[in-house]
Amino acid sequence: MTAFQEKYKDFRPTVIKADEQFSKDMMNEILIRNGLLPLSVALVDFHDVMELVLDAVNNKNASKVLEVYPRADEKLRAVEAISSEPGIMSIRANLDEVLSLAKENKTAELPARAGDLKASYVKVYLATS
């Protein structure tokens, strides 16, 4: 190791020296920027938006589902970019079915599909943790 690397490898400017999350945040930023986001992190990121979809579904609010779906779709696409395993394809099928039912304003059918969506997510998440 060169003298420069030895001296500055773990160096932190005074402004961030006390930030214990700095190294972890930098690693996550590098992973995201280079498309190497771990599957479990991408699933958690999707989960937050999926819950908004589920809330709208459980309230039988089709217009809210349509409003929130694009964000859920974007987050699920990030998951799909990492893995295309059958469980993730099941999440996609259930999410898209929720969209179809919302577009057709079939609010009575939404809660059952919400259960399927959540179950498919949990199955994949538990398998990756």
- More confident call, 22 vs 74: 74
Q: Which two tokens stand for residue 129?
A: 């943790």
Band of residue 13 on the pLDDT scale cut at 50, 70, 90:
confident
For residues 6-35, average pLDDT? 69
Using a pLDDT cut of 90, give the percent of the chain over it.
Answer: 55
Task: Write the CB contacts of 42 (distance below 8 Å, at least 6 apart in sequence).
Answer: 75, 78, 79, 82
Enumerate the domain spans of the chain.
39-128
The one-letter code for the residue type at 106 is K
CATH 1.20.120 fits 39-128, yes or no: yes
For residues 107-111, average pLDDT? 91
| pLDDT value for 120 | 95
- More confident call, 37 vs 119: 119
pLDDT digits (tens, 9 = 90+) for 27-86: 667 666 665 567 888 898 999 999 999 999 999 999 999 999 999 999 999 999 988 899
Closest CA to 55 of 111, 126, 123, 122: 111
Q: Record the pTM.
A: 0.71
Using a pLDDT cut of 70, give the percent of the chain over it.
Answer: 84
Q: In 3-state terms, what secondary structure has residue 93?
A: helix
Band of residue 24 on the pLDDT scale cut at 50, 70, 90:
low
